[in-house]
Each structure stands twice: as structure tokens, then as C-alpha cells.
């Protein structure tokens, strides 16, 4: 989705409290780092992934999910420092130039491939693989450069140095969906309804044990194509380069102002997933909140709304769009169990759950 379409689709939050906090952090970083320019803009994305990125024009996009995962203002500042480093090093602009050059090179390569008569598909694959690995190496190098300069910017400020390392440590614990596990008891508690008793068969999982993954193995190594070096490697690199980071300290608890933003980000997890039409993931998150007894009325209401969307999608034969398929090598055991449960429900059962929680939420 391009930037203009994201604006039209209202993918950004204009909650002034987030923006005020981020602009304050940026100002704190600029005080001791005069190389940071004045003409920068910040947007807050309705995205639960703890991430941020910068555009070539000096616009910084910060995902709301950062506030949900990080502990304090200093940790958010460390992420901004990393992105400021990307900007100061012209990484975004260089990436755009690389893409233009790659497009030109690709056209030239395709013309040459037309003249090849033997092993054309293998040669084409080798070229694609070579280009992907080159792109990976460049991006990894830039991530390390941004960590180095980013830490220097951060260290120059008034924030506690060790929070830079603590940020990487926090992010390393983050799972794409959620690091928390859903207990079987939670399913039984939530879906044993007055008019629809819980069925153990809903929890049946497909056996992937006899699946020969090597037979279907993609020729490209996924780990080696990752553009972000593993966070453990980045943590090791930054402590080797800056000896003071070897002295670890526990993360400080955020102040009251940060705690309010953190709570807002948490309350926006489900609305954000709804906005991006990730209804299955929304149900998974709502169940985790309910397992922890958080805002039960609020999450019951969301459970009804989300199941209603799943019902409509199932009825219209487009559930794949809103509910992930099981990928044993890519997903946690907890999330695979959740997906098995969801796909095992029939249309009438989904409707009963939606109706029950819609009624419960309205009462």
C-alpha cells in the first residue's frame, strides 16, 4: 500500500498525545545533536507491530505498537535515534536509487536471457537469488550502521545509555502475533455457551508430522534473506562496539504520562486489527486479554464483532482473507492451536458465538 493510499485509508492516528510525546523526544535528541534538522515530521501508524521507519522527505512513521511493547520514553527515543541515523545516512534515498538501478539492470538481464536456449529457468533463478542476496547484504549493513550512529545520537542526549540495549532486548521478545500462550481452559471458558456446549473436537489439530518439508523446501534460505540481522546479533555487535553497554541495568519504569500512552496503545490493539481487517488475529488478541481478565466487557464486545466478521467471510467463501492458514514452521504452537480451533468451527457454530458475545457486549 503506498503512502497516499495509507492516508486515504486513515491508517494513521492523529491522537495528539502520541504526537506530542514523540515531538518532545525528538526535541530532546536535537538538543545535543545539532546535525538533526528542524524540518522533520512524525506520524503515528495504527499498527501494533513495534516498529518505526523514515521516508526520504524526513517523515518518520512510528507504529503505535511501540508504546505497547517498550517500557519508557528512553526506549522510544532509542528507536527514533536509530531511524534518525537512517535518515542522516541517506539510507532511504540510497534504497530508492538502488531500486531504480536494479530495475534498469533487470530489463537488461531479461533481454540477455531471451538469447539463452539452455537451462534458461535455472539461470533466471540464479540471477534472482544473486540479486536478493546482494540486496540483503546492503540492508543488513545499513541496519548495523544505523545502530552505531543511532546509539551515538542517543548517548549524546540525557537518556540512560543502557536503555538503548534494553530496547533491543525488549524487541527480541516480540512475536509477530503475540508471545503469550493461550491456555486450553480459556477456550473452554469462553466457548462453553448456554445454547452451544464446548466440543473437544474443535481443538483437533492436523498432524503435520509426516509432512516432508524438505521436499517442498524453497531454494532460497529464508534466514539468510532477512534484512534485519537477528536482534541477538545486533545486541552482540552494539556491546562490542560500545563497551559501556556491557554494564546491563534493568529497564526503568515509565512515568505516569508514558503509562497513559502505553495503556492507550493497549486499548487500541483490537481497533487497529479491525481497521486492517485482521479479524482472526483480533480474536486471538481478545482471547489473550480475556485470559488475563483485562477489560472484560470491552473485550467481550470485540469478540462478538470480530466473530460476526468471520461468520460473514465464511459465508462468502473468502475466510482466507481474514484468517491465517496454519504454517507449522512459521507459527507458535499456541497460534497454530488457535487457527485449528477457528477452522474447525462450522458456519452455524461461528454464528452462535458471534450472537452470544454481541448480546453479552450489549448488555
Question: pLDDT for 145-166, tens place per residue?
Answer: 999 999 999 999 999 999 999 9
Question: What is the per-residue pLDDT for 216?
Answer: 40
Question: Three cell numbers at 336?
Answer: 497454530
Q: Write down the pTM of the prediction.
A: 0.80
| Lowest model confidence (mean pLDDT) among 57-66, 227-236, 268-277, 286-295 | 227-236
Question: pLDDT for 241-256, tens place per residue?
Answer: 999 999 889 999 999 9
Question: What is the per-residue pLDDT for 231?
Answer: 83
Say if residue 227's pLDDT is above 60. no
Query: 131-151: b or e for each residue (b if 16 or more CB lie within 10 Å)?
Result: eeeebeeebbebbeebbbbbb
Q: How many CA atoms lie within 13 A of 176 on its CB side?
A: 6
Question: What is the per-residue pLDDT for 120?
Answer: 55
Question: What is the per-residue pLDDT for 143?
Answer: 87
CB-based contacts of 337, cutoff 8 Å, min separation 6: 182, 184, 203, 205
% of the chain exceeding 90 in pLDDT: 66
Say if residue 17's pLDDT is above 90. yes
Question: What is the per-residue pLDDT for 128?
Answer: 61
Question: What is the per-residue pLDDT for 137?
Answer: 72
**Mean pLDDT score of the chain:** 86
| Lowest model confidence (mean pLDDT) among 19-33, 101-115, 318-332 | 101-115
Say if residue 96's pLDDT is above 70. no
Question: What is the per-residue pLDDT for 138?
Answer: 73
Average pLDDT over residues 267-282: 96
Question: What is the distance between the alpha carbons of residues 57 and 93, in angstroms, rounded to a whole number?
Answer: 9
Q: When comparing pLDDT for 15 and 82, which is higher?
A: 82
Question: What is the per-residue pLDDT for 214?
Answer: 46
Average pLDDT over residues 162-172: 93
User: 104 pLDDT band (50/70/90 cuts)?
Assistant: low
| Lowest model confidence (mean pLDDT) among 41-50, 228-237, 274-283, 329-338 | 228-237
Question: What is the per-residue pLDDT for 354?
Answer: 98
Say if residue 300's pLDDT is above 70. yes
Whole-Å CA distances, 127 to 50, 121, 124, 133, 134: 34, 10, 5, 10, 11
Average pLDDT over residues 180-189: 95
Say if residue 21's pLDDT is above 60. yes
Question: What is the per-residue pLDDT for 251?
Answer: 93
Question: pLDDT for 28-56, tens place per residue?
Answer: 999 999 999 998 999 999 999 999 999 88
Question: pLDDT for 194-224, tens place per residue?
Answer: 999 999 999 999 876 655 444 444 455 544 4
Average pLDDT over residues 277-285: 97
Amino acid at each position: 500500500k503506498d503512502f497516499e493510499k495509507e492516508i486515504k485509508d486513515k491508517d494513521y492516528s492523529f491522537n495528539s498525545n502520541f504526537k506530542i510525546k514523540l515531538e518532545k523526544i525528538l526535541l530532546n535528541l536535537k538538543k545535543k545533536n545539532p546535525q538533526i534538522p528542524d524540518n522533520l515530521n512524525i506520524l503515528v501508524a495504527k499498527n501494533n507491530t513495534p516498529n518505526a521507519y523514515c521516508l526520504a522527505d524526513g517523515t518518520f512513521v512510528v507504529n503505535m505498537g511501540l508504546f505497547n511493547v517498550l517500557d519508557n520514553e528512553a526506549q522510544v527515543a532509542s528507536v527514533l535515534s536509530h531511524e534518525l541515523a537512517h535518515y542522516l545516512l541517506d539510507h532511504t534515498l540510497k534504497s530508492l536509487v538502488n531500486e531504480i538501478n536494479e530495475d534498469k539492470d533487470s530489463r537488461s538481464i531479461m533481454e540477455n536471457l531471451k538469447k539463452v536456449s539452455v537451462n534458461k529457468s535455472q539461470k533466471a533463478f540464479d540471477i534472482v537469488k544473486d540479486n536478493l542476496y546482494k540486496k540483503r547484504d546492503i540492508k543488513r549493513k545499513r541496519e548495523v550502521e544505523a545502530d552505531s550512529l543511532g546509539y551515538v545520537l542517543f548517548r549524546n542526549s540525557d537518556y540512560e545509555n543502557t536503555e538503548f540495549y534494553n530496547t533491543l532486548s525488549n524487541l527480541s521478545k516480540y512475536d509477530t502475533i503475540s508471545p503469550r500462550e493461550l491456555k486450553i481452559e480459556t477456550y473452554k471458558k469462553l466457548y462453553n455457551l448456554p445454547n452451544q456446549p464446548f466440543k473437544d473436537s474443535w481443538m483437533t489439530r492436523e498432524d503435520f508430522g509426516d509432512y516432508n518439508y524438505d521436499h517442498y523446501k524453497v531454494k532460497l534460505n529464508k534466514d539468510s534473506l532477512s534484512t534485519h540481522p537477528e536482534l541477538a546479533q545486533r545486541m552482540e555487535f552494539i556491546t562490542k562496539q560500545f563497551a559501556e553497554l556491557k554494564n546491563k541495568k534493568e529497564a526503568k519504569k515509565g512515568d505516569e504520562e508514558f503509562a497513559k500512552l502505553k495503556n492507550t496503545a493497549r486499548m487500541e490493539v483490537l481497533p487497529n486489527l479491525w481497521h486492517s481487517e485482521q479479524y482472526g488475529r483480533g480474536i486471538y488478541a481478545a482471547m489473550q486479554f480475556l485470559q488475563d481478565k483485562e477489560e472484560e466487557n470491552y473485550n467481550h464486545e470485540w469478540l462478538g464483532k470480530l466473530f460476526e466478521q468471520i461468520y460473514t467471510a465464511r459465508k462468502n467463501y473468502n475466510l482466507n482473507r481474514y484468517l491465517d492458514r496454519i504454517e507449522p514452521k512459521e507459527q507458535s504452537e499456541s497460534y497454530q492451536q488457535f487457527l485449528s480451533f477457528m477452522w474447525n468451527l462450522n458456519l452455524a457454530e461461528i454464528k452462535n458465538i458471534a450472537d452470544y458475545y454481541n448480546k453479552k457486549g450489549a448488555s
